[in-house]
C-alpha cells in the first residue's frame, strides 16, 4: 500500500467513525480565515464561511432551527441578488438549507451541501407565507408543484414567476447547475421563448418538486474545491422522457444506488478543529 492510499484509508476511517457527522453539526461557528470551499460537494467543507442574514430584500430563510444558513460569499451574494429579483414583483423567496457553519456532512437531510456552494430555494413565492410562522419559521413546509392526479405539474400553483426565478438563477455566471423535478424542466422546455441557453443549467433530478437546488461552480479563490463533471452540451430537453418514465407520479421512485462516496480532503480536519 503506498503512502497516499494509506493516508486515504486512515482519513476515511477517521471521518466515517460514529458521531463524526455530529461534530460538524456542533461547531461553534464558521472557521476563521479567508473563504475557501474545499473538496467535493458530497465530501467537503468550507473555511471562512459567511452567514446569510435570516431575512433581506425579497427573501426570508426558513427553518432557522436547522442552523444551515452558511456558505461561500459568492453563494450569499447570489441568494441576495435573487431576493432582489423576487422583490421586483415575483414575491418573497423562501430559502431552505444552505450548509452548516463549516460545511461537512449533515446528520440528516442531504448528501451534498457540504462545501458552502449549494442552496435550496422553495418554489413557494407567497409574500405572506412567512408571516404566519413561528419564531424559527419551522412550522410550515414547502408545497409541491406536482399534481399527483395528473402526474404532471399543478397548474393551479405553477406560474411564470417560477420560470422567471429559475431563469434568473441559471443566468447568474457563478451558478453551475440547478436541480429540479423533470416535470418542471419539461414545462420550461415547452414554454421558454427566445434565448434557451440557460436551460442547459437546469438539470432534472429526483424529487425537487417543492424546491430547486442551486449549486455554484468552484469559486476562483478555492483551489481545493473539486470541480463537478461538466454538464453535457445542449438544452437537455430531449433527456426528459427517460426521467419521466423512470420517476412517475411525484418523480422520486427508483433511486439509483449512490456513486461511491468521495473521500473528504485532509484539509477539512483542520477546518473542523480550528478555534
* Region label for 234, one of left (φ > 0), alpha (ψ between -120 and 50) or beta (otherwise): left
Nearest-CB residue to Zn ion?
A: 213
120 scored as a contact of Zn ion (CB under 5 A): yes
Interface segment toward Zn ion; rule CB under 5 A; list 50-58, 83-91, 112-120, 215-223: 112-120
Please state the closest distance from residue 5 (CB atom) to Zn ion, in A: 32
Torsional sign, CA 121, 123, 125, 129: negative
115 or 192: whose CB is closer to Zn ion?
115
Q: In a 3-state reduction of DSSP, which class is residue 246?
A: helix
Give the SS3 label for residue 235.
Answer: coil
Q: Per rule CB under 5 A, is residue 213 in the interface with Zn ion?
A: yes
Query: How far is the C-alpha of 171 from the C-alpha of 175, rounded, in Å?
Result: 8
Query: Least distance to Zn ion from the beta carbon of 108, Å?
Result: 13
Cell triple for 211: 424546491
Within 47-76, the residues that bind Zn ion by CB under 5 A are none
Q: Is 209 in the site for Zn ion (CB under 5 A)?
A: no
Nearest to 66 by CA among 44, 99, 39: 99
Indicate the DSSP class of residue 153: E
The verdict on 94 binding Zn ion (CB under 5 A) reads: no
- Radius of gyration for the chain, computed over Cα atoms and rounded to the nearest angstrom: 19
Considering the complex, state which of residue 94 and residue 192 has its C-beta at the smaller distance from Zn ion.
94
In angstroms, give the least distance from the CB of 6 to Zn ion: 34
Task: For Zn ion, give the closer residue by CB, 120 or 209.
Answer: 120
Q: Which residues bind Zn ion (CB under 5 A)?
A: 120, 213
Amino acid at each position: 500500500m503506498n503512502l497516499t492510499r494509506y493516508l486515504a484509508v486512515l482519513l476515511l476511517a477517521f471521518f466515517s467513525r460514529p458521531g463524526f457527522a455530529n461534530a460538524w453539526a456542533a461547531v461553534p461557528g464558521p472557521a476563521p480565515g479567508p473563504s475557501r470551499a474545499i473538496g467535493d460537494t458530497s465530501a467537503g467543507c468550507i473555511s471562512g464561511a459567511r452567514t446569510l442574514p435570516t431575512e433581506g430584500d425579497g427573501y426570508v430563510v426558513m427553518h432557522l432551527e436547522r442552523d444551515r444558513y452558511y456558505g461561500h460569499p459568492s453563494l450569499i451574494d447570489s441568494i441576495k441578488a435573487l431576493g432582489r429579483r423576487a422583490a421586483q414583483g415575483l414575491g418573497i423567496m423562501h430559502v431552505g438549507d444552505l450548509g452548516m457553519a463549516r460545511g461537512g456532512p449533515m446528520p440528516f437531510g442531504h448528501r451534498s451541501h457540504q462545501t458552502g456552494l449549494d442552496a435550496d430555494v422553495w418554489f413557494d413565492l407567497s409574500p405572506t407565507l412567512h408571516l404566519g410562522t413561528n419564531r424559527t419559521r419551522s412550522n410550515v413546509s414547502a408545497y409541491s408543484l406536482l399534481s399527483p392526479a395528473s402526474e404532471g405539474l399543478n397548474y393551479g400553483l405553477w406560474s411564470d414567476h417560477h420560470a422567471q426565478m429559475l431563469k434568473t438563477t441559471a443566468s447568474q455566471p457563478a451558478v453551475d447547475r440547478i436541480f429540479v423535478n423533470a416535470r418542471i424542466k419539461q414545462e420550461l422546455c415547452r414554454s421558454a421563448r427566445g434565448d434557451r441557453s440557460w436551460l442547459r443549467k437546469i438539470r432534472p433530478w429526483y424529487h425537487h418538486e417543492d424546491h430547486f437546488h442551486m449549486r455554484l461552480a468552484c469559486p476562483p479563490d478555492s483551489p481545493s474545491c473539486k470541480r463537478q463533471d461538466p454538464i453535457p452540451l445542449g438544452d437537455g430537453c430531449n433527456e426528459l422522457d427517460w426521467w419521466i418514465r423512470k420517476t412517475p407520479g411525484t418523480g422520486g421512485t427508483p433511486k439509483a444506488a449512490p456513486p461511491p462516496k468521495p473521500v473528504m480532503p485532509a484539509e477539512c480536519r483542520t477546518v473542523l478543529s480550528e478555534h
